[in-house]
Amino acid sequence: MSHLYSPEIISQAKQLLSKMTLDEKLGQLSQVSSAGAHIPDDLANAIRHGRVSSVINEVDLATNNELQRLAVRETRLGIPLLIGRDVIHGFKTIFPIPLGQAATWSPEIVEKGARIAGEESATVGVNWTFAPMIDIARDPRWGRIAESLGEDPFLCAALCASMVKGFQTDDLSSPGAIASCVKHFAGYGASESGRDYNATNIPENELRNVYLPPFQQAAKAGVASFMTSFSDLNGVPATGNRWLLKQVLRDEWNYQGLVVSDWESIKELQVHGLSASQKESAYLAAKAGVDMEMASHCYIDNMADLIAENQLNQAEVDQMVLNVLHLKFALGLFENAFTDASVLPQLMNAQNLQVAKEAAQKSCVLLQNKKRHGNTPVLPINRGSTQRIAVIGPMAHDGYEQLGTWVFDGEEKHSVTCLSGLKALAGQSIAIEFESVLCTSRDSNTQHFDKALELTNNADVAILYLGEESILSGEAHCRANIDLPGAQLDLIEHLSQSNTPIVLVVLAGRPLTLQPILDKVDSILYAWHPGTMGGLAIAELLFGDVSPSGKLPVSFPRVVGQIPIYYAQKNSGRPPTEESFIFIDDVPVRAAQTSLGMAATHLDTHFSPLYPFGFGLSYANFEYHHVNISQHEIKLDSTFSVSLILENKSDVDAEEIVQLYIRDLVGSVTRPVRELKGFKRVLLKAKSSVNVMFEMHTDDLAFYDICNQLNVEIGDFLLGVGADSSVELSVPFSLVK
């Protein structure tokens, strides 16, 4: 992190600090919310008196420039403001939800998306975004899984680093660069029962091996700020957790940036029962290492008293203020706090829209593609032989819902809907007939089902655009049942009477349980909430202009009772096997209870996920050959390589995401049955092959051991490379001294 803060910046901040009164210092720890063209008098006066350091949620350029004018020209020291905004997956040009972006497995495309989001938000004076969210998420009931980068720390860390670079560029003071804030530190994604804000209980070893690595990678990547979690972590809410914020973040990782609370999370320490008053909440958060308070007023109202009573000392407060000032200097705000939109790229320009379309294309995951009519897959749709397409479903022509959760500034009028995209690419020779059937995804009215069946019967192919509205995922929008809501399952059942091939396109903010409909549709394309250009991107995939290449960043459960289900599980003493699995109907009546031969399974569903992490089909046929490791005995602190031949046996140019997994067979603590350790997105021409190489270091195999120390242990491993996490691990190797 130190590279963000040059000696010059550190010196400038100290010089400014030496001139500040206590009230001015405390003002630098306060963030307030305001929106709209009119600045309230109380906010203007608070800024003039140096009691505001940051404003969140203002996106009017003139207003933000006026706020900066008040801070710079009507205060004693002229300290500019941090202008914050939740720019989660786009500003005006909306990209796929973060979970969809994770399905691209493309650090390059997510960096481009963050760069565009940063530039667009900077045109209205925003200089700080509260993204990316890098909570490991293994429970699709949790609404905020939509904002996450999935279940795996390796993939999450790689994408996170690219997003941070996209927002911040290589120079925070350059035009269009904005400060990034990773959240929510830490463990928020493990909220019990998938209910937002709920307690999280994560053993330290699991926390260090699974939930903390993306945050540590963000710190290494130079992220400007961290946001604390709302949740109670092992009995201590993160916002007041000294072990987490002081010992781990500051001392172990040497993080020097800004730490901000989540919305009123300092105030909520009292609601948690960790403090008896707002004053005590301020004390606990400050002692833990929270520099700035978002939205509530515990710091500004109580900090002076805490200092006067010697509960906090001046040096502690000074360091908090310096952490804020460092960022303001790094952003170049003291040189120019005002925004001139004319020097920045135009909002929603053609290049931005093209990148958004590419991101949506790469995010879509082909889950199923059955064959019909002479052993030909239903997808892609053949323009030459298709005369009529039935388009059905509430998500087909709704530009708002395809944008997804946490979209404050995108507008549905700019969306290319699924229906519009299909019509644009179908040409004049294909007739498209549309019936929404259901008003929303939650609609239970079945009165238009027969009309939809008639359209389906008269079509060469029917495309169903179903899923869940954007409001059904995101913060506080958790679901106990993750089936398709409303009457959508009944609609699929009704249409399955037809002999017409049915393509299901799912637009959703989370994995949904699709097992009930697998035999009722021919093809399934999972499109998440794809953003502004989603409709055109999906249409190009359906017509085969581009082959689907997305891969799942999360495992899809068969039923909700399997949750949490994820690929990197522990083996247990009785791992499930096909031989040990007994289905409930096969259990003999009045059978004697016994544990002999039993395994870690459910009686009423298979132990595997419906679709594993990393899964995704293509229109191409890829084969993997000759997976080799450069040496089978590898000395500690050395490099080695893994190579393979990837062959495209089809007539289709396509991209494949090659995935490398390892298994550590014996450790000082039990190890996952497999872990992702490398991936590459490879474009391969039809009827061609390529050599794919992974360069690795033994440090890549490190984990936190029985003493919670990062360590590389000698021993035996297995390795495999393939198309998803179910690949056979067939290549043995050993680490030796």
Which residues have a catalytic role annotated?
A: 262
**Coil, strand or helix at 316:** helix
How do the residues of the chain divide into helix, strand and coil, expressed in percent and rounded to 5? Answer: 30, 20, 50
**Helices of type H across 364-406:** none
CA proximity to 173, closest of 120, 123, 127: 127
Find all residues with CB under 8 Å of 303, minimum gap 6, and list them: 26, 29, 282, 286, 312, 317
**Helices of type H across 40-106:** 41-48, 61-73, 98-102
How do strand 502-507 and strand 523-526 relate by DSSP bridges? parallel
Q: Using an 8 Å Cβ cutoff, are 695 and 688 in contact?
A: no
d(CA 215, CA 251): 14
d(CA 150, CA 188): 13
d(CA 194, CA 510): 12
CA proximity to 99, closest of 154, 149, 140: 149
Determine the distance from the C-alpha atom of residue 525 to the mean position of all C-alpha atoms in its chain, rounded to a whole number.
20
Q: Using an 8 Å Cβ cutoff, are 163 and 182 in contact?
A: no
Q: Using an 8 Å Cβ cutoff, are 326 and 332 in contact?
A: no
Planar angle of CA 71, 49, 77, nearest 5 degrees: 55
User: Six-digit token pair at 139?
Assistant: 């429970």
The CB density around residue 558, as the number of other CB atoms within 10 Å, is 21
The CB density around residue 19, as the number of other CB atoms within 10 Å, is 9
CA-to-CA separations, 547 to 27, 86, 365, 418, 727, in angstroms, rounded: 54, 33, 10, 17, 22
The CB density around residue 680, as the number of other CB atoms within 10 Å, is 15
| Structure letter (DSSP) for residue 557 | P
User: Six-digit token pair at 243?
Assistant: 């072990």
Q: 488-495 and 449-457 helices cross at what angle (nearest 10)?
A: 40
CA-to-CA separations, 215 to 225, 629, 641, 666, in angstroms, rounded: 11, 30, 27, 27
How do strand 715-722 and strand 731-736 relate by DSSP bridges? antiparallel
d(CA 128, CA 25): 20
Q: What is the CA radius of gyration of the chain?
A: 27
Is there a cis peptide before residue 553, judged by omega within 30 degrees of 0? no
Q: Using an 8 Å Cβ cutoff, are 289 and 250 in contact?
A: yes
Q: Using an 8 Å Cβ cutoff, are 211 and 137 in contact?
A: no
Burial of 651: CB neighbours in 10 Å, binned 0-12, 13-18, 19+: exposed
